[in-house]
Amino acid sequence: MDLTKKTLTEIRDKIAAQELTSLEVTKALLAEIEAKNDKLGAYLELFAEHCLAKAEKIDKRIKAGEKCGALAGVPIAIKDNMTTVWGKTTCSSKILENFEAPYNATVVEKLLAEDAVIIGKLNLDEFAMGSSTENAGLGKTANPWDSSRVPGGSSGGSAAAVSAGLCYGALGSDTGGSIRQPASFCGVVGLKPTYGRVSRYGLVAFGSSLDQIGPLARNTQDAALLMNVITGHDPKDSTSLSEELAPKTDFTKDIDKPLEGLKIAVVPEFIEKAGEAVKEAIGKAVEFYRSKGAEIREVKMPHSDYAVATYYIVATAEASANLARFDGVRYGYRSEKPENYMDVYTKSRDEGFGAEVKRRIMLGTYALSSGYYDAYYLKALKVRNLIRQDFKYIFKDCDCLLTPTSPSGAFKFGEKSDDPIQMYLEDIYTISANLAGVPGVSIPCGFDENNMPLGMQIITDTFQEAKMLRIARMFEKEHSYENQIPEDSRE
């Protein structure tokens, strides 16, 4: 039995039924990671000793008939911008290369409370700034389908690990599409929840009003199970929504029950801007839903043309403020030979940050500077509100918005890295959801001319993740991702 090809739910159920032990599953996964990770580069750090000890403890509890958590014994991996008290939290940056956090992120505590086995930390674009994981400061991650192509970003390590069978589920963070876009490139499911539904405590901040932690998994059932674990109010996070606004939900309940009277919105201009293979795949998806009785409504998003510009003002402004704490004084990397006190700051930051991080800090500082705040940052906030209103208008009459996740399939390394604008446009379909705070999920929907996976995105109104997953599941059940993998695709 190839344990690495099983889904999270399958493994969880087999461990619970004592058909498998957590220890043998964890050992099998560690062996697979050891064999593949040098080429794939998904993991920055493995917690082999820690997770084997945890697996043994869980097996003893299950054997003794003790009640165990919803993820008992299942190996899960997390993006390396979420803190753990063991191992390092690097954000794939030289400036945090040796940083050891003093506390666990809330999502880590929630995984541990449900008896998950946290197997390691996954690679990302430095400080989650990028759409290809080419900006990673501590190593390169390749796409499991074709190692000459990028896995997407910034949660490229998370998507690659799930796709390659190197974990049963993973957590990523999404500031402008950083869960959904790599999920699309790697042929897995990636979900960004409603802003505030998942605690950000322990997530190293990039853009505080945009960042949200979410799951990556092999199918919607597994993503729903992870959502059950990580959602909920957290008093440690001031942006965490109360139970009254976002009541605890079982996202797995009724996920297999199709929705009737479904009204799906599409924006024709969005689809026209995509590549031919994406247009064809989205067109087939639209026809599938129509065949199931859904009403397809063409709508407009009049302010979507400004989404990318708005995002890169808001996100960089927040990044410049958040990253000011990495100064070579309090913690993290410090330049070895500063000539004076000011050199401690300037040289430490210059040597510790990569080119993309520096670019975004400078853009954000400029947008917030005296004389430019009103012209750029304040105006961006006004446009952000208009984008939010666009979604409200759509969701008055429609259950969801269906779009491509990305304009194309995964591109080759170096193809867009010399042109930041082209790279930024990779998130053209995903950014708006972050600006509005609404949830979105990417699910596999086909392949491009290079046999690379393509994803489609389903966006719903705030707090409607359960409905969103049911809509996605309708398509997934009749277009099984595992059944579509060409034999010679994976390397």
Return the CATH number at 447: 3.90.1300.10
- Look at residue 140 and tell me if it is in a domain: yes
Burial of residue 276 (CB within 10 Å: 0-12, 13-18, 19+) is exposed
Inter-CA distances, 143 with 161, 178, 182, 431, Å: 9, 15, 9, 22
pTM of the entire predicted model? 0.96
- Look at residue 291 and tell me if it is in a domain: no
Q: Please, which pLDDT band fits residue 491 given cuts at 50, 70 and 90?
A: very low
Q: Classify the C-alpha dihedral 474-2-180-483 as positive or negative.
A: negative
Which of the residues 6, 36, 54, 79 is marked catalytic?
79
Region 316-330 average pLDDT: 94
Look over the chain and give the mean of its residue pLDDT values, rounded to a whole number.
94
Instruction: Label each residue of 251-286 as H, E or C.
Output: CCCCCCCCCCCCEEEECHHHHHHCCHHHHHHHHHHH
Region 411-424 average pLDDT: 86
Proportion of the chain above pLDDT 70, given as a percent: 98
- Look at residue 489 and tell me if it is in a domain: no
Closest among 82, 106, 108 to 96, alpha carbons compared = 82
The answer to whether 418 and 164 have CB atoms below 8 angstroms apart is no
| Residues 6 or more apart in contact with residue 180 via CB below 8 angstroms | 174, 190, 191, 192, 405, 430, 440, 441, 442, 455, 457
**Displacement of CA 314 from its chain's centroid (Å):** 19
Which of the residues 154, 184, 240, 348 is marked catalytic?
154
Active site residue 240: no
Closest among 170, 156, 163 to 123, alpha carbons compared = 156
- Look at residue 287 and tell me if it is in a domain: no
- Look at residue 303 and tell me if it is in a domain: no
For the stretch 83-95, pLDDT in tens is 999 999 999 999 9
Q: Which pLDDT score is estimated for 419?
A: 81
Which of the residues 92, 132, 178, 240 is marked catalytic?
178
Looking at per-residue pLDDT, the higher value among 60 and 491 belongs to 60
- Look at residue 76 and tell me if it is in a domain: yes
Active site residue 154: yes
**What angle in degrees, to the nearest 10, is found between the helix axes of 48-63 and 22-40?**
160
Q: Which pLDDT score is estimated for 411?
A: 96
Q: Which helix (H) or strand (E) holds 362?
A: helix 355-368
For the stretch 251-274, pLDDT in tens is 999 999 999 999 999 999 999 999
CB contact burial 7-33 (16+ within 10 A = b; e otherwise): bbbbbbebbeeeebbbbebbbbbbebb
- Domain ranges, residue 446: 3-260+440-483
Active site residue 155: no
Q: Which pLDDT score is estimated for 324?
A: 94
Q: Find where tokens 């293979």 sit.
A: 277
For the stretch 34-48, pLDDT in tens is 999 999 999 999 999
For residues 470 and 254, give the distance between their C-alpha atoms in angstroms, rounded to a whole number: 7
Inter-CA distances, 186 with 157, 190, 326, 441, Å: 10, 10, 32, 14
- Look at residue 376 and tell me if it is in a domain: no
Number of domains in the chain: 1
- Look at residue 81 and tell me if it is in a domain: yes
